[in-house]
Structure formats: C-alpha cells, structure tokens
Structure 1
C-alpha cells in the first residue's frame, strides 16, 4: 500500500455513471441513473432525461426550494430508499457555501451528489522526539466506519454556521477543547475529493486546521462519538496511513496533507506531485 493509493481511493468515481442535476442551468449535484428514475414520480418538479436531470419546478425562493426538496427526501425516507434523516442541513450549491440555492438533509446529500463541507483538525504536540499527533478511535455505534481511527476533531459544517463557531463546537464535543484553545487552531487550507459511495457521490470539501496542544493536554470526548484517544509519533501515524486500513478513509487525506506540510512527505518522494494534486481534486 502507499499514500497515493489512499488518495486515489478517495477519488474513485466514473463520471459516466452519473447524471448532472441542474437548477436554472447550474450543476448542483450528480445522480445515479437508477436514483434519477425515482424522481420521475415528481414530473412537475424534475425532468429526467438520458443525459441530465433538471429541477424544472423548483420554487423561486430559497426557503420554498428547501421545503420542496425536503418533502421529496422525506417521502424517500418513509419508503426506505434513504435510510434516515440526520437533522443537519447542508447547502445545495454549485460552488461555495455562500452560493447555496437551497438546503438538503445531510444523509440525503450523497444521493443527490451534493457538495458537502466539513472541518478536520490535526491536534499535535512538539516533543524532544519530534511531533506527536493525537488520534481518536471512533465509537463502535457509529453508522459509518465504527472503531476506525479518526482525526482529533472532525465534523460536518451545517449551513448558516460560521467556520470558527462550528470549529469551537466540534472541538468541545469531540475532544473537550475549550474555545480559547480552539481559537488557536491555524487554518491551513482545504482538501477536496470526489468519491463514489454506496449511496451515491461524495464531492466533498474538508477545511483543515492544525492545533499545537500543550504537552499535558489530554482530550476527552463529550458526545460519545469517540471511544478513545492515543498520542502517537508522527512516523507511527504515517505508517498506519500508508500500510493499514485503520483510518476512516477521508481522514487519511487530512493526515497526508499534514505530512506534506510538516516534512513527512518531501519533494523527493516519488509520488509527491500526484499526492498533492490528489488532495485538491476537481469537483463536478
């Protein structure tokens, strides 16, 4: 296994297997044809053609569009096609979060191939032996990737919540990091990837942060999402990413990005260029 294999695993999808979902000629999502066929039940809303799905009946206003789409999603949940409602609402957007055309429940986002946004934080300590990273292990009751390794803090970014506000919330819930310490996190960019998933397509954006922690800091999960935490030398974390399937898949990318920026993967590495290119993949 290799770093590049992990990057490619997060960017494995076939554009020919998805139909553009458009609103007023803007692409706002991507649908599998079999799922697009389900939308034929709403002919006043969706025009399903062989090469695209147009939301022709979308109401004019943001709130009305969101309500209309929520009704469709709720029907699909009631019929068991979509497993459940999450409760967090994500932006349906052709680009940035502030370009949202309406909202969609988080669970439904991949079904509609909607761009999703999240925040991931690397918590690290500088020691005489070098950098050490705090790593979380997800709880056994997680719907996705139970008991897999995770970044110290990671969570979705709901619509209408600011980046700093949401990061403070996630830091408190996932690692008991207070606001004063959370505000010391350094925004270091974003990782983007597009991956075909069981439920559809995940064209995702992860805003990334580095937080240098005091040597005596010990994280504590307050929301039950993390079973335990471990502080490991950077080389040991790199080995886990490179040679195991221990990490939640997209968290590999956040660690690889950290390694690139902190010298763990240097410009002499044979896969250096495809790695850094794969961390900033084009999203449909």
Structure 2
C-alpha cells in the first residue's frame, strides 16, 4: 500500500523566531467530572550514577490505572450524562492534554544539522550532551540565542547514527533516557525529506525530533450501526500501561513505509492477516506538540480506517495488549468526552474518525475550532 504523502517543508534557522512566536489554538474551558484524570506518564525523580556531571530527567511511566471494562461500559452509556450529546468540551480537553507547554519553548535550543532545524533540546538536557565534545557542539546564534549541532567531523548519516548511539547508551545507563526500545527513528526536517541520521526511539522526545506513527481505526458494521474495536494495553508496558488504545497503532521506524508498517503492526498487535490489513484506507494525518519537562514531542500520526468482517475477533501476538472489546462508536465518543481512559494521542485519532463519519456535526458549537485543533502540531 502506498504511503500517504505530505508536502515537504524544511525548517531553516531563520524560521525559529516565527515558529516560537506562533500561538496555539485557544481551547474552551473544560469541566470533565465523571472520572479524575489518569496521568501517564508522570514526573518522578530518578537517580544518576554521576549526579555532578549529568542533569537528571524526571519522566517515567505511571502505575497502571485501576478501571475495568465494566467501568468503561458504564461511563459510555447515554444515561450516564444525558445532556452532553452535543457538548464538545470533553474533546477539547483531550486535545489540550496532547498540546501542553507551548509557553515553555524558549527553554529549548534548536538542534540543527546542515542548516536545518531537526529538533529542540531542553537547555538543561543539552548540558549532558556537551560532555561529549566529539559528538555534540554548541554555538551562539544572534537570532535564536544558541543552537546545538553535531561535530563537523560527522558528515555521513551512518557515522552520525553510531556516534549518537554511543551517547544515548551512556545517558540511558545513567537513568537519563528510560525505556530504551532498540528501534531507530529517522531524523529529518520534514516527512519525506533527506534523513540526516537515525535516533533511538526512546530518545526522540529528548531531542525534540519529528516522530511519525500509524494509527488504525478498526471498525465493523452491524444492523446499520458502527462499532470500534478497542484494545487495552498490557499492564507491564513501560508507557501508558493498562490504558485503552487503538486496535492497531505503532511508531514509524526508519526504513519502512507507512503501509508496510501498518500491515506489520496489524499482524503483531491484533492478528489481522495481510489479506485483510491490505484493505486499510489511508484517510489523513493528525499532529500535536507537547512539552513535558525535558521532553518535546512533535508527533504526526498517519490515520487509517479498516472495515472488518463482523466475525473477526482480534488476537494479540506480541504480548502488548491485555484484551480487546468491540464498542459502539457513539459510546466510544462518550468515553473520550468523559474520561481519561484512552492513551492520550488515541483520542485525537478517534475524534478525527468521529468527524469523518458524521458523529460530530457543524451544529455543534466549536465545530471548526475542534476540527482545526486536530493538527495543532507541525504537520509536515
């Protein structure tokens, strides 16, 4: 399956000021009261084996939430809150959760390669990288107040990848980059642009690089009604354990197309054979920009829809999903509006599905603002 294309947009240093000055969407105030927020991950101190020379990052995974499928079903019912059918505040609340900290961007230095901004690194975290003088160098820039780049001797992508990999290993050993995945993400200024080098997935938010993923809405139709298959993440996953998730979703590693990656994830996460997964339809992309401590997530998610047979039952193959449940789409919408049960970025993709399938209509106050907010990040 061909990967959906997005226009290539490069980011020279001269654009940094304008990007930093751009304001985010203004979201209406939200008043979600059904369940308290389940924040994951959350901040927690970590220890470094060399505290004098290394600045400690603080983000780790939260404890698993305690809700059950019975809770999910109960809160999804119309009678639970019969007056919120056209109220979009719960959706805006979820968009805000994925787009925190815009006012903190001044705390980050541009990460520049070949005169292109490829990421943003927190000034405190950058102090750790400056210890590796043969890999990272900093320089002053009158327009942005300083940048971080790679040593001029690292000219080839493979050399950069190997050199940065050694730094990441050292930082991980000191507890500064938790959850090493041994999976490489491409470092590029925009989707489809030249890849400057590849970076460990767990390090991506600490370098503020553009990261891409694929998310698929797997749905069935019964008696004229649509249902979404929802997964619950394994309780032992290092990130967002026990939270609700898409039937299929995954990051986009270096060297694989969107379509092939989706087919691979379909087999691993839900046991969907290629004969079915190859029918998934690419329907667009959403984006968000989230600052949390030293982490700057600038993610773009390519979205897919797959209509499944009524008889299909997912079967997880990689141990990352605890269980699945098929739920009417209008009830999934209620879960998103009323709770924080879903992994945060899944909310955006499902809200996009609700727009495209007519569950959110122009008669709802805030319709256009919510629609535009689905691309709150740099969607390039």
Query: Structure 2, unaligned stretches of length 5 or more?
Result: 1-31, 33-89
Match of 1:13 among 101, 118, 140: 101
Q: Paired residue for 1:113, among 176, 200, 208?
A: 208
Structure 2: distance between partners of 1:213 and 1:116: 28
Distance in structure 2 (CA, Å) of the matches to 1:217 and 1:23: 47
Out of 95, 99, 106, the residue aligned to residue 190 of structure 2 is 95
- C-alpha contact 1:173 1:221 (8 A) present in aligned 2: yes
Alpha-carbon spacing, 1:113–1:179, altered in 2? closer, same or farther (3 Å): same
Distance 2:373 2:268 in 1: 30
Q: Which residue of 260, 266, 269 corresponds with 2:364? A: 269
Give the Cα–Cα distance (whole angstroms) in 1 for the partners of residues 184 and 352 of structure 2: 28
**Match among 47, 50, 57 for residue 138 of structure 2:** 47
| In structure 2, C-alpha distance between the alignment counterparts of 1:52 and 1:83, rounded to whole Å | 25
8 Å Cα contact 2:125/2:294 also seen in 1: no
Task: State the secondary structure of the residue aligned to 2:180.
Answer: coil
| Alpha-carbon distance in 2 for matches of 1:58, 1:215 | 58
1:126 is matched with 221
Once structures 1 and 2 are overlaid, which stretch shifts more, 262-271 or 116-125?
262-271
Equivalent-residue separation in structure 2 for 1:206 and 1:110 (angstroms): 15
- Give the 5 Å matches for 1:28-43: 28-43=118-133
- Give SS of 1:20's match: strand
Q: What is the Cα deviation at residue 23 of structure 1?
A: 1.1
Which residue among 138, 156, 167 is the counterpart of 2:262?
A: 167
Structure 1 residues 148 and 282: CA distance shift in structure 2, 3 A: closer
- 1:1-284 to 2 correspondence within 5 Å? 1=32, 2-14=90-102, 15-44=105-134, 45-47=136-138, 49=140, 50-57=145-152, 59-283=154-378
Contact 1:8/1:278 (<8 A) preserved: no
> In 2, are the aligned partners of 1:58 and 1:65 still within 8 Å (CA)?
no
Give the greater-gyration-radius structure (CA).
2
In 1: Cα distance, 2:316 partner to 2:293 partner: 29
Using the alignment, how far apart are the partners of 1:84 and 1:282 within structure 2?
24
Q: Distance in 2 between matches of 1:83 and 1:186?
A: 35
Alignment check: 8 A CA contact 2:269 2:321 kept: yes
- After superposition, the Cα gap between the structure-2 partners of 1:235 and 1:26, relative to the gap in structure 1 and judged at 3 Å, is same
Find the counterpart in structure 1 of residue 67 from structure 2.
none
Gaps (5+ residues) in structure 1?
none
Give the deviation of 1:87 after TM superposition.
0.8
Q: CA deviation at 1:245?
A: 0.4
Deviation of the 1:160 alpha carbon: 0.2
Q: Is the 1:4–1:271 Cα contact (8 Å) retained in structure 2?
A: no
* CA distance, structure 2, for counterparts of residue 47 and residue 199 of structure 1: 18
In 2, are the aligned partners of 1:36 and 1:48 still within 8 Å (CA)? Answer: no
Matched residue count:
284
If the length of structure 1 is used for normalisation, what is the TM-score?
0.95
Any idea what SS the aligned residue of 1:117 has? strand
**1:228–1:58 CA distance, 2 compared to 1 (3 A):** farther
